């Protein structure tokens, strides 16, 4: 049987905290499925732009840029039908159900001064591995965030592979450095973390803690699917790092049922505006930098950063 649930667009401004109980893995008999779409209502907010001139390693990191000396960070990837990518949809209130599909450490890759993935779902106390593929050093800073205050979770340098060639521009190679290994460790019920590079301000990534394996990150059309859901009544939540809160709706899961849902975020009209990308150092059709009396071309190989950044 298939059922259709209505559109939900109520934004909760608080951050739901991690519950005290533990989750028990076990077989699920006659589980149901929840499918749906997360959309963004109204006009897509403007992207943020960061000047490459004011960040170090400009010639290398500028390979991904607008071509005019700016790195664009597009927090909102919206499909043609309004579907919002990189939204974490998850169920709350399930204490027993299917096992976690992936029990490996959460992984973040760094390549061309980009953190990948842009958004991830993690478990509290889950190991976290961050690998640097760039021939430059990055400064990893991870903060657990909440309306009542943020706190440093970890802060340390991310080493490069010592066998990278010396000429970074002529030999654009990527070799993995030694992985930075730590664990996601939330405190005071927080469940959101923000990862950034202390050297390169445009390098950003987000994570949300989940308590059970009933979660999904929306695709480029805003679609998601939760399978093998035990029969019961639950809260379904949706979170996107560009929004100021959570969407919440009640779902009733019946045995062997399929429930179709739709959640909609309102346009964040109070969103800070992007910087003007007029670059005074861009002239004669080519971006250049002045460095110690010389000019250095920014070798652009991409129009802008992909994958939601």
Give the per-residue pLDDT at 298: 44
Query: What range defines the domain where residue 260 resides?
Result: 2-297
pLDDT band of residue 136 (cuts 50, 70, 90) is very high
- Say how many domains are in the chain: 1
226: phi then psi, degrees, rounded to nearest 5: -120, 120
* Mean of all residue pLDDT scores within the chain: 85
Q: In a 10 Å sphere around its CB, with 0-12 CB exposed, 13-18 middle and 19+ buried, how is residue 142 labelled? A: buried
Segment 32-56 mean pLDDT: 91
Segment 121-146 mean pLDDT: 95
Give the per-residue pLDDT at 302: 42
For residue 304, tell me if it sits in a domain.
no
pLDDT band of residue 97 (cuts 50, 70, 90) is very high
Give the per-residue pLDDT at 295: 45
Higher local confidence (pLDDT), 239 or 19: 239
Segment 181-210 mean pLDDT: 94
Give the per-residue pLDDT at 49: 87
For residue 88, tell me if it sits in a domain.
yes
Q: Which of 66-80, 196-210, 278-292 has the highest mean pLDDT?
A: 196-210
Give the per-residue pLDDT at 147: 73
Q: In three state form, how does the secondary structure of 225-275 look?
A: EEEEECCEEEEEEEECCCCCCEEEEEEEECCCCEEEEEEEECCCCCCCCCC
Instruction: Tell me: cis bond preceding 37? Omega within 30 of 0 counts.
Output: no
Contact 79, 221 (CB under 8 A): yes
Q: In three state form, how does the secondary structure of 45-90 look?
A: CCCEEEECCCCCCHHHHCCECCCCCEEEECCCCECCCCEECCCEEE
Segment (H or E) for 144 = strand 138-145
For residue 305, tell me if it sits in a domain.
no
Segment 40-66 mean pLDDT: 88
For residue 132, tell me if it sits in a domain.
yes
| Chain mean position to CA 57 | 23
Report how far residue 88's alpha carbon sits from residue 260's, in angstroms, rounded to the nearest whole number: 17
pTM reported for the whole predicted model: 0.86
pLDDT tens string 234-263 = 999 999 999 988 999 999 999 999 999 999
For residue 309, tell me if it sits in a domain.
no
- In angstroms, the first-to-last Cα distance of the chain is 39
Report how far residue 238's alpha carbon sits from residue 90's, in angstroms, rounded to the nearest whole number: 7
Closest CA to 127 of 108, 101, 140, 111: 108
Angstrom CA distances, 168 to 50, 72, 163, 235, stand at 22, 22, 12, 50
Length of the chain in residues, anyone?
309
For residue 308, tell me if it sits in a domain.
no
């Amino acid at each position: 049987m298939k059922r259709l649930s209505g559109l939900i667009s109520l934004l909760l401004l608080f951050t739901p905290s991690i519950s005290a109980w533990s989750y028990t893995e076990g077989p699920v008999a006659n589980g149901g499925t929840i499918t749906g779409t997360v959309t963004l209502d109204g006009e897509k907010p403007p992207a943020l732009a960061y000047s490459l001139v004011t960040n170090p390693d400009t010639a290398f990191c500028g390979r991904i840029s607008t071509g005019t000396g700016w790195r664009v960070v597009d927090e909102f990837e919206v499909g043609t039908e309004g579907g919002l990518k990189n939204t974490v949809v998850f169920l709350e209130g399930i204490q027993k159900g299917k096992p976690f599909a992936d029990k490996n450490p959460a992984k973040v890759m760094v390549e061309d001064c980009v953190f990948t993935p842009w958004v991830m779902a993690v478990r509290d106390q889950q190991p976290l591995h961050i690998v640097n593929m760039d021939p430059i050093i990055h400064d990893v800073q991870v903060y657990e965030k909440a309306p009542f205050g943020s706190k440093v979770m970890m802060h340390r340098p991310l080493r490069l592979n010592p066998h990278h060639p010396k000429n970074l521009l002529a030999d654009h190679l990527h070799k993995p450095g030694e992985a930075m290994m730590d664990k996601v460790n939330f405190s005071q019920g927080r469940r959101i973390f923000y990862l950034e590079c202390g050297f390169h301000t445009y390098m950003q990534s987000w994570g949300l803690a989940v308590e059970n394996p009933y979660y999904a990150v929306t695709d480029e059309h805003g679609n998601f699917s939760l399978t093998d859901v035990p029969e019961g009544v639950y809260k379904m939540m949706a979170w996107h790092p560009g929004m100021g809160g959570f969407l919440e709706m009640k779902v009733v899961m019946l045995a062997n049922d399929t429930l179709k849902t739709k959640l909609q975020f309102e346009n964040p009209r109070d969103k800070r505006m992007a910087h003007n990308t007029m670059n005074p150092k861009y002239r004669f059709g080519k971006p250049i930098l002045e460095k110690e009396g010389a000019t250095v071309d920014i070798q652009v190989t991409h129009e802008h950063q992909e994958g939601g950044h």
